[in-house]
Structure 1
């Protein structure tokens, strides 16, 4: 991977990766009907159209699901490193200004969340606080923090608890009731009803869902990873960096294949729901 710089402040590969991630996220939201989840009845459509719908759905989810957002989260942390470096040259601690930016981001999330249930900016505003706390850590510690969160510690905790006590049941987060309330507002003829339910329940549903599928802890880990990549300047146009990213690509491909196979056949391997709630989530998140 080579890096070309545009002018003084733009790193072309970062803009390309960010655009790729947003494209993938938008394509997935499009086929999901932007969390509306109302689709044509397959019985009213010809078989060839149902077949195309299924293939498009499966292909896009294979290519982008859990990956587009992961790239975007890494770049969020990387951008933070650029801002930190710029302000440190002026002997300014950017951390407190960053906190104010997260407050503004939460405000944008509230406005956007009125019309789109589960606005991800709210999660970014909350989890972005993690960058404030790791901003002055040594480089090695930042990488350790990233690895710890990427390991999916919550799911491992539930799995170990169950292994020690087979009567243990992982707590239910109750996301279903919030999605049902959102659906009522979406199907209403009143935009006031839509805005009300989105504001009251959209963020709750999104955050609890992110927690239940491991995305919340993974996002913190990806933020820290992006920050570490920025500190190490691994997106700079250097021969050593090109070799590093080639190795990352090879290791990622080799690792992804068995993880994907496990994800596909996990229901045949594990029967108990607790395993799907723990090992299933871990495997999926590692694959992403």
Structure 2
């Protein structure tokens, strides 16, 4: 097989770097728990004005957006590899299946050390891309849109309503308070093997959450949308598609603005202080998913415009460096989060404010950029990327750059 995986698109690497910034902020504001924590952890900061501001900022602009952004870029990468391969499509798809199987192994190992892992989810959902390799652009786009606005989850809700299934009880089995407290105690105790055992036992809960919330469908929808973008050469030839991205920018921010106004109006009306009908809950959930999707596309268009400016060349170069080492950087964020927030190191979870968590995330991200730039001056790939590539091709890949 001869896929030109080394042919990089700086803009796409830059977007990947920006996605990593969003991911670390989303995780470190929650002290990198990767799972629901007992209410006692955040209670001391609920009366703190700065914490409230940071939580509001995070809820509107960060949380729920960047897992989808990263998913979109995963789909773009699949499309790029498929377009560049010089082998038969069947041979490429077989190699890609092996590639994401390896990713699943990395993800499972990562999940044992941190419940918030997305790589194991990507590996499972990624096999679905193989089924869409030959479909038309129109089908690809419409299926992507249906999944992104979470239609399957809304149908799922309707089925449960008509069957009188208690969804509250199901959610209670996923995020049970005793389990959350046990998890917090394990984090703070810093005992390695009991922590791994608890994470392993929690994997079925994680999958329940993915299905019940619809995140699994949204992730795959963004895979397909990214694949569609790659097919259309939208990011590869950004300058030729500036009109498309300008329209995307305007439409998405307009939708987000309207939905935010609706949300503020509902909040002020006090409707969330009472029991609301299931149909209204489903409608609000769909609007929330739509807002998140529009925010992702707004980021794709807006950041692409910024990074395409000559005055932003240094920013593009910095983000592209960490973007080229996205897998290594993502796993390193967990390793550093372990040391900073868990009992294996400084044990700061809940002991610093969410604002400090944000600040720590920014500092770690800047350090990762510096490390990525230093590393790529000497090596062709990030260490985990090199290992993944070597196992994909079942032979040792060149690593050092020739001086």
TM-score by length of 2: 0.61
Verify the 8 A CA contact 1:229 1:235 in the aligned structure 2: yes
CA deviation profile, 1:93-130 (whole Å, cap 9, x unmatched):
32111111221111111111112113211111111111
Question: Which structure 2 residues correspond to residues 1-288 of structure 1 after superposition, within 5 A?
Answer: 9-35=7-33, 37=37, 39=41, 41-42=43-44, 50-87=48-85, 89-93=86-90, 94-158=92-156, 168-169=164-165, 171=167, 174-180=170-176, 181=179, 183-188=181-186, 189=189, 190-201=191-202, 203-264=203-264, 265=266, 268=271, 271-272=275-276, 274-275=278-279, 277-288=281-292
For 2:168 and 2:93, the matched residues in 1 are separated by 35
Pick closer, same or farther for the CA change 1:160–1:198 going to 2, 3 Å.
closer
For 2:149 and 2:49, the matched residues in 1 are separated by 37
CA shift for structure 1 position 140: 1.7
For 1:14 and 1:80, the matched residues in 2 are separated by 13
For 1:68 and 1:281, the matched residues in 2 are separated by 18
Pick closer, same or farther for the CA change 1:173–1:97 going to 2, 3 Å.
farther
Paired positions, count = 273
CA deviation profile, 1:140-193 (whole Å, cap 9, x unmatched):
221122122223222432565589x5x744645734434443541440333221
Q: Secondary structure at the match of 1:252?
A: helix
Pick closer, same or farther for the CA change 1:193–1:159 going to 2, 3 Å.
closer
Pick closer, same or farther for the CA change 1:214–1:170 going to 2, 3 Å.
farther
CA RMSD of aligned residues (A): 2.8
Verify the 8 A CA contact 2:100 2:123 in the aligned structure 1: yes
Query: 1:4 maps to what in 2?
Result: none
For 1:160 and 1:179, the matched residues in 2 are separated by 22
For 1:244 and 1:126, the matched residues in 2 are separated by 32
Pick closer, same or farther for the CA change 1:128–1:118 going to 2, 3 Å.
same
Q: Secondary structure at the match of 1:61?
A: helix
Q: Secondary structure at the match of 2:155?
A: helix
For 2:180 and 2:197, the matched residues in 1 are separated by 9
- Which region of structure 1 is more displaced relative to structure 2, 20-29 or 276-285? 276-285
TM-score by length of 1: 0.84
For 1:274 and 1:103, the matched residues in 2 are separated by 39
CA shift for structure 1 position 260: 2.5
For 1:30 and 1:243, the matched residues in 2 are separated by 36
For 2:115 and 2:171, the matched residues in 1 are separated by 13
Which one scores higher on RCO, CA 8 angstroms, separation ≥ 6?
2
